[in-house]
Amino acid sequence: MLSQLVVLFAEGSDPVALAKDAVELVGRATDTAAVFVYLWDSEEERLVLRVATAVPQRAGINEIKLRLGEGIAGWAALRERSVIIERDLQDDPRFMGFDAIDENEFQSVLAVPIADEQNQLRGVFALYSMDEAAFGEDELAIAVEVGRLLASGLVRAETVDNLARQSASAHFLLDFPTATRTALVPCLQFAARRLVDLLDAEVCVLEYMSQRESGAAPIMFAFRGDNDEHRVWSTHSRAAAQASIDQHCVGMEHTSVSLGMGASRGILSCYRTARFRAQDFERISALAMQLGVLLEAVDLNSVGSSLATRLRFTHDDAEAGRVLRELGMEGPVCPVLIRVHGVRSDWETTSRSLKEALTAAAGARAVVLLHSTWGMILADAPGGRVSAELSSHLLAAVQRLSEDVGLQAAIGVGNVAATPAQMRQAMANAQKALEWAESYDREQPVTIASYSDIRNVLPLSDVVRGMVPDVVRLVEVLEPLVRYDVEQGAQLVRTLSVLASCGGSVNETTVRLVIHRNTLRQRMQRIEQVLGISLDAASDWPALTMATRVAADRVDRLRPAARR
């Protein structure tokens, strides 16, 4: 029996479970009617009956509490001495009866104090028999040895339990799946469920006061269930929350702490049948502080920002797949990029409204991630197709913000990535569409381009880039003509622009300008005179068309200043 106990205690199980196993072993070895274990509660300063063999007296577990000196177990603990009563147990002056148990059937008892190596009281180990003189030196030796082992095992079990709880508390934030850290609701759901376990609670309630989410964040409940299948429920109604507390938490111990550091951002409340002890309050406070920091980070989209950056700039298909799995995006996905160019109101408020608008437009299964003034939408694409209305819904949603707060932005819609391996290419195509929206369609405050619409004309960008050196040179050549128009109030730059766009055709130019051929020839002579060049059929009309448009824009901007 002692060999089995040594192995058992070395495992460092839960203290009460450890005592239960010890009781069963000792009961079988000594053939006693009942074995009780009282454990010392330092906060209550009581010996509490925590374990008993399978007899009717088990009804007193957690109910019977003795001061030092009360009852036979209390006397043994106070005097730190073993006690053997051979007969007439109820007639002993140290005997104390309890309504919760019936001890009339017992005739003799053996009680041994449990103390650890530092001689600190851990409890009392008591054996009861229906026979008189059932306990002698042999049973006393066994009880003393078991008491020593039990004390050592309790110390080890408490140490292991405390270390496990400290480790779980220290890793509390690391336990959160990444997908729960991109929005408040899933974050609160996971936190409430996890806290029920970490705090041995029957019910945990989380109420967070969001800085950014629309409306009030939900009040989140987690109720302990069988086999760790905890039930999570939420409500936005304080009345409904209070009704749930009144229904499920009556008679329970209760404690509440503030979330976060400094100014409170919410409340964590715990309910359980057992008392909350000093170490529980320390653990609850530490967890509440960690959770408050995490919730504020989620509230500010910092986690979503990190994921957006990783997904947009990764060069590794495996990394892209990991991010998608962390976000819970299992099927085909269509990436959309958005970049904000300006806003006339508070950016924090606008970014909150922007996230709400994009989320509503992209659908409930989409993920919206914001990072500074750019963002990413991962739109669900069941069957490899996105909704035909996705682009129009996104444009309409952002346009409404443009009207309300002066938001200026560009949106690029990529193609569908059927697998994570296709994600990087789809993201690159979304970037091309965004660049197109920014470069070629800036007449409106909000512009959008879809890769499917512009993929066939993407070479235009390369063509334009190839013309840039010639255009830059011609803009410099046209500078004297710009000054002439500004100073003289002439229309030579515009005339040259129309002529260039008509490929040098005099007839077509006169029609578009509604002037006589002679008038056009006089203007062309003046242009050649001012610029010192000859306009002939060999001119680079495409490059000149672009250069004259730049020059015309300069004339429009300089002319009002010249008039002042």
Type of residue numbered 524:
M
SS3 123: strand
What are the per-10-residue average pLDDT scores of the chain (564 residues)? 66 64 72 81 81 65 84 88 85 77 76 81 85 83 76 65 59 73 79 87 87 61 82 80 89 86 75 82 83 75 63 85 80 92 79 84 83 84 88 92 90 92 92 88 83 86 81 90 90 92 90 91 91 76 89 86 61
Strand partners for 449: 412
Find, among 456, 386, 440, the residue nearest to 414 by Cα: 386
Q: Is residue 320 part of a domain?
A: no
Any domain includes 403: yes
Same domain, 332 and 479: no
Q: Is residue 492 part of a domain?
A: yes
Query: How many domains is the chain built from?
Result: 4
Strand partners, 375: 338, 370
**Reported pTM:** 0.45
Which two three-digit tokens encode residue 297?
Answer: 């980070």
Whether residue 414 is found in the same domain as residue 270? no
Residue 83 parent element (H or E) = strand 83-85
Q: Is 318 part of a structural domain of the chain?
A: no
At residue 102, the pLDDT reads 63
Environment class of 537 (CB within 10 Å of its CB; exposed 0-12, middle 13-18, buried 19+): exposed
| Nearest alpha-carbon partner for 450 in 493, 395, 494, 384 | 395
Q: What is the per-residue burial (b if ≥16 Cβ within 10 Å, else e) of 311-344?
A: bbebeeeebbbbbbebbebeebbbbbbbbbeebe
Other C-beta atoms lying within 10 Å of the C-beta of residue 450: 22
Rounded Cα distance, 424 and 426, in Å = 5
pLDDT score, position 413: 94
Same domain, 418 and 358: yes
Q: Are residues 211 and 357 in the same domain?
A: no
CATH of the domain at 382: 3.30.70.270
77: CATH = 3.30.450.40
CATH of the domain at 495: 1.10.10
Domain final residue, candidates 408, 442, 457 = 457
Are 6 and 124 members of one domain? yes
- Is 313 a domain residue? no
- Asked whether the beta carbons of 288 and 266 are under 8 A apart, the reply is no
**Main-chain dihedrals φ then ψ at residue 433, nearest 5 degrees:** -65, -40
Which of 276, 277, 5, 278 is closest to 125 using CA atoms?
A: 5
Among 166, 192, 224, where does a domain finish? Answer: 166
What type of residue is 1? M
* Alpha carbon distances (Å) from 252 to 21, 193, 203, 242: 29, 18, 10, 15
Do 350 and 440 have their domain in common?
yes
Q: Is residue 307 part of a domain?
A: no
229: containing domain: 173-299
Tell me whether residue 189 is in a domain. Answer: yes
Same domain, 257 and 352: no
CB 74 within 8 A of CB 47: yes
The whole-number pLDDT of residue 213 equals 46
For residues 10 and 54, state if they share a domain.
yes
Quick one: pLDDT at residue 1?
66
**Which of residues 166, 191, 213 is at a domain's end?**
166
Q: Are residues 481 and 534 in the same domain?
A: yes
267 and 358 co-located in one domain: no
What is the DSSP pairing of strand 333-342 with strand 367-371? unpaired
Q: Whole-angstrom Cα distance, residue 361 to residue 359?
A: 5
Claim to verify: residue 419 and residue 474 sit in the same structural domain:
no
Query: Is 439 in the same domain as 464?
Result: no
Residue 59 lies in a domain: yes
Concatenate the DSSP letters of all residues of 197-254 into one string: HHTT-SEEEEEE--SSSSSPPPEEEEE--GGG--EEEEES-HHHHHHHHHHH-TT-EE
Q: Can you give the pLDDT at residue 116?
A: 74
d(CA 136, CA 106): 16
Phi (first) and psi of residue 326, to 5 degrees: -60, -30
- The DSSP line for 433-481 is HHHHHHHH--SSSEEEEEHHHHGGGTHHHHHHHHHHHHHHHHHHHTHHH
